[in-house]
């Protein structure tokens, strides 16, 4: 019987990406654990394979091949101590910047440490034998496949990065006897570009620049992005913490979160990803054919699972290059079409229940100019992103999305207020987040430029939202998931007494009427004699209802039918139906 590629998916992906990244030469050593890899490689005429019984010699052979040919060279060995014999050769490769790919085949990593034959721990190689070391386990689902594909791309890119050097891949095998696969899977190759190299052309069609959390933009970057958007008819999709306030700004958060409507305006041919962790996942709302990431660290960050290129350079250098390049965009009306679609959805927003979302809706256009605003995780940043803060207010907006926890916003706000004594610094957060970090308002460095808006619903209201996994537990979610009833259980006196004793001016509201009566003073641009804390009491049911109303503003016939079927069949029924349809 003819032999082709192994049926092991992880090995197929590795071979396909080796071809994408130009790893052609291989020095193979004998063994049972690497039969699936070597048996597949020797079937493919793309590869040049050489044999070496001694792995130590194999590693040095690879050094010679790489040094003389200028190409990356792969090594393949079996389990047990075979890989240990690569150490001296990989040390040479590390200090000589030689692109050697050491592929060590292995049994299931769970067997490590259980006294099983030929199983050793390869999870922590010496620092100076590999620039990067990854584990590639067997693949069981799409999540495993995505993770393997990205990790292998990342490892193979490291072979030539910053002068080059050795890389280690520990490839798990199941010893499959099946070599009947005739075609390798389609894989998504990722390329890295650095300054001075030949860059790819901007594809035709819709172009979007997606910005996650971002520091304040410098003048050159803003000008270059604006010129890029003008030339390629691109848009900048962003949320408040992106801090882009240029003329091509669009916040599609409300449009993209319609659960019963999929807008074609969110489909783009290229999305250019900037910044760090997004607060509300605005980029995930876009349906992009491919994504380019631009960042000085040059790391592979496949946030949207469409990454095809990484640009290791400053953002302004990237945009200035393309702004002066020869090609031009051809989709001239995209910005106007997307703005119109977003506005159409916004017009459908009804009167909301008293909630964080209602507060944001009635506050964003009444904020003072040139302040610093800090938004808490998660209900606050969501609400204040759905109701976009006008860029003309010139407000710097931040949130602790790096670690994405509820702790620390009050302390972060305090630090910002200290750094900007002449600037008003306002924080918006929930009650659990406030109590988690309440000690910060007792700090002696607190000054009159600091203000806190605390939305007190007596629990982690996120876990009571209609669309949260904990919602199926109803009120039972309060006890341990939403952590209701702590910290005075919405006491009207607890925060009031604490804040006033620490020198804060205290304000409160528990209805739309009382909020609107106090909003003007709290959000006044005037600097008062004391810091201010505004406690607003809301109800979790209203919070959930407001969110549901905002997420179901638009409905299509297809999505409406899909939701009706789900409601009739239930989760188990839908799962069973999907299984039947696959057969």
- 448-469 confidence digits (pLDDT tens): 999 999 999 999 999 999 999 9
Burial status of residue 499 (CB atoms within 10 A of its CB: 0-12, 13-18, 19 or more) = buried
Which pLDDT belongs to residue 563? 59
- 543-581 confidence digits (pLDDT tens): 999 999 999 999 876 666 655 555 555 545 544 544 454
Q: Which residue has the higher pLDDT, 330 or 112?
A: 112
Residues listed for the chain = 583
Q: Which of 14, 227, 23, 216 is nearest to 135 (CA)?
A: 14
- What is the CATH superfamily name and number for domain 207-346? TPP-binding domain (3.40.50.1220)
- 498-532 confidence digits (pLDDT tens): 999 999 999 999 999 999 999 999 999 999 999 99
Structural domain boundaries in the chain: 9-189, 207-346, 356-548, 555-582
* Residues facing 427 on adjacent strands: 374, 452
Local confidence band at 118 (pLDDT 50, 70, 90 cut-offs): confident
If you ran DSSP here, which 8-state letter would residue 515 be given?
H
Burial status of residue 140 (CB atoms within 10 A of its CB: 0-12, 13-18, 19 or more) = exposed
- Give the three-state DSSP class for 465: coil
Decide: 29 and 83 in contact? Cβ < 8 Å.
no
Residue with tokens 């590390």: 94
Q: If you write DSSP's letter for every residue of 447-466 in order, what string do you get? A: -TTEEEEEEE-SS-GGGGST
- What is the CATH superfamily name and number for domain 9-189? Thiamin diphosphate (ThDP)-binding fold, Pyr/PP domains (3.40.50.970)
Nearest-5° angle of CA 237, CA 556, CA 303? 35
Local confidence band at 327 (pLDDT 50, 70, 90 cut-offs): confident
Which pLDDT belongs to residue 152? 98
Decide: 500 and 506 in contact? Cβ < 8 Å.
yes
CA gap 344, 438 in Å, rounded: 41
Which pLDDT belongs to residue 65? 98
Which pLDDT belongs to residue 578? 47
Local confidence band at 192 (pLDDT 50, 70, 90 cut-offs): very high
Local confidence band at 136 (pLDDT 50, 70, 90 cut-offs): very high
Local confidence band at 40 (pLDDT 50, 70, 90 cut-offs): very high
Q: Which of 144, 135, 157 is nearest to 20 (CA)?
A: 157
If you ran DSSP here, which 8-state letter would residue 117 be given?
T
Decide: 346 and 251 in contact? Cβ < 8 Å.
no
Q: How many CB atoms lie within 10 A of CB 532?
A: 21
Average pLDDT over residues 288-300: 98
**Domain 356-548 in this protein, CATH class:** alpha beta
Provide the CB-side half-sphere exposure for 362 (13 A, CA).
19
CA gap 543, 353 in Å, rounded: 7
Which pLDDT belongs to residue 582? 46
CA gap 221, 272 in Å, rounded: 14
Write the CB contacts of 373 (distance below 8 Å, at least 6 apart in sequence).
240, 367, 389, 395, 396, 397, 398, 425, 426, 427, 428
Distance, first Cα to last Cα, the chain: 30
Cα–Cα distances (Å) from 5 to 11, 15, 37, 63, in that order, read 9, 9, 8, 27
Nearest-5° angle of CA 340, CA 346, CA 347? 90
Which pLDDT belongs to residue 2? 79
Distance of CA 320 to the CA centre of its chain: 25
- 155-191 confidence digits (pLDDT tens): 999 999 999 999 999 999 999 999 999 999 999 999 9
Which pLDDT belongs to residue 581? 47
Q: If you write DSSP's letter for every residue of 195-244 in order, what string do you get? A: TTSPPPPPPSS-EEEEE-S-PPPPHHHHHHHHHHHHHHT-EEEE-GGG--
- 43-57 confidence digits (pLDDT tens): 999 999 999 999 999
CA gap 466, 129 in Å, rounded: 52
């Amino acid at each position: 019987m003819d032999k082709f590629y192994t049926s092991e998916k992880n090995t197929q992906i590795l071979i396909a990406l080796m071809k994408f990244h130009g790893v052609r030469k291989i020095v193979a050593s004998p063994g049972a654990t690497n039969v699936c890899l070597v048996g597949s490689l020797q079937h493919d005429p793309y590869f040049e394979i050489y044999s070496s019984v001694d792995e130590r010699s194999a590693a040095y052979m690879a050094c010679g091949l790489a040094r003389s040919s200028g190409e990356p060279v792969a090594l393949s060995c079996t389990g047990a101590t075979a890989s240990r014999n690569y150490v001296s050769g990989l040390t040479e490769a590390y200090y000589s910047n030689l692109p050697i790919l050491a592929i060590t085949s292995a049994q299931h990593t769970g067997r490590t440490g259980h006294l099983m034959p030929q199983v050793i721990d390869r999870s922590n190689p010496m620092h100076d034998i590999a620039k990067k070391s990854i584990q590639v386990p067997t693949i069981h689902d799409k999540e495993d496949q995505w993770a393997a594909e990205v990790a292998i791309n990342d490892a193979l890119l490291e072979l030539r990065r910053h002068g080059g050097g050795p890389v280690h891949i520990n490839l798990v095998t199941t010893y499959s006897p099946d070599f009947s696969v005739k075609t390798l899977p389609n894989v998504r190759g990722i390329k890295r570009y650095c300054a001075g190299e030949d860059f790819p052309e901007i594809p035709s069609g819709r172009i979007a620049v997606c910005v996650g959390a971002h520091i304040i933009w410098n003048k050159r970057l803003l000008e270059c992005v604006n010129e890029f958007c003008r030339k390629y008819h691109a848009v900048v999709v962003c949320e408040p913490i992106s801090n882009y306030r240029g003329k091509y700004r669009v916040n599609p958060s409300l449009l993209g979160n319609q659960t019963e409507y999929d807008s074609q305006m969110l489909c783009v041919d290229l999305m250019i990803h900037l910044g760090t962790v997004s607060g509300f996942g605005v980029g995930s709302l876009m349906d992009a054919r491919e994504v380019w990431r631009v960042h000085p660290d040059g790391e592979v960050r496949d946030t949207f699972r469409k990454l095809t290129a990484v640009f290791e350079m400053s953002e302004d250098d990237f945009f200035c290059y393309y702004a002066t390049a020869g090609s031009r965009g051809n989709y001239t009306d995209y910005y106007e079409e997307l703005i119109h679609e977003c506005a159409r959805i916004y017009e459908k927003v009804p009167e909301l229940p008293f909630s964080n979302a209602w507060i944001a809706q009635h506050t964003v256009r009444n904020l003072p100019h040139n302040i610093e605003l800090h938004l808490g995780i998660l209900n606050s940043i969501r609400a204040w992103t759905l109701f976009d803060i006008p860029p003309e207010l010139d407000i710097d907006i931040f949130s602790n999305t790096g670690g994405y926890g509820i702790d620390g916003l009050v302390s972060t706000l305090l630090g910002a207020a200290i750094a900007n004594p002449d600037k008003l610094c306002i924080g918006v957060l929930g009650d659990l987040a406030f109590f988690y970090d309440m000690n910060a308002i007792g700090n002696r460095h607190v000054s009159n430029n600091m203000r806190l808006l605390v939305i007190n619903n007596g629990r982690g209201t996120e876990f009571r939202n209609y669309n949260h996994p904990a919602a199926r537990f109803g009120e039972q979610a309060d006890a341990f998931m939403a952590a209701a009833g702590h910290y005075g259980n919405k006491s009207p006196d607890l925060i009031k007494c604490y804040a006033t004793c620490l020198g804060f001016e205290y304000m409160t509201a528990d209805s739309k009427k009382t909020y609107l009566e106090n909003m003007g003073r709290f959000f006044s641009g005037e600097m008062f004699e004391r810091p201010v804390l505004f406690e607003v009491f809301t109800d979790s049911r209203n919070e959930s209802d407001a969110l549901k109303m905002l997420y179901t503003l638009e409905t299509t016939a297809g999505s409406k039918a899909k939701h009706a079927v789900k409601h009739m069949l239930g989760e188990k029924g839908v799962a069973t139906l999907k299984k039947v349809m696959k057969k």
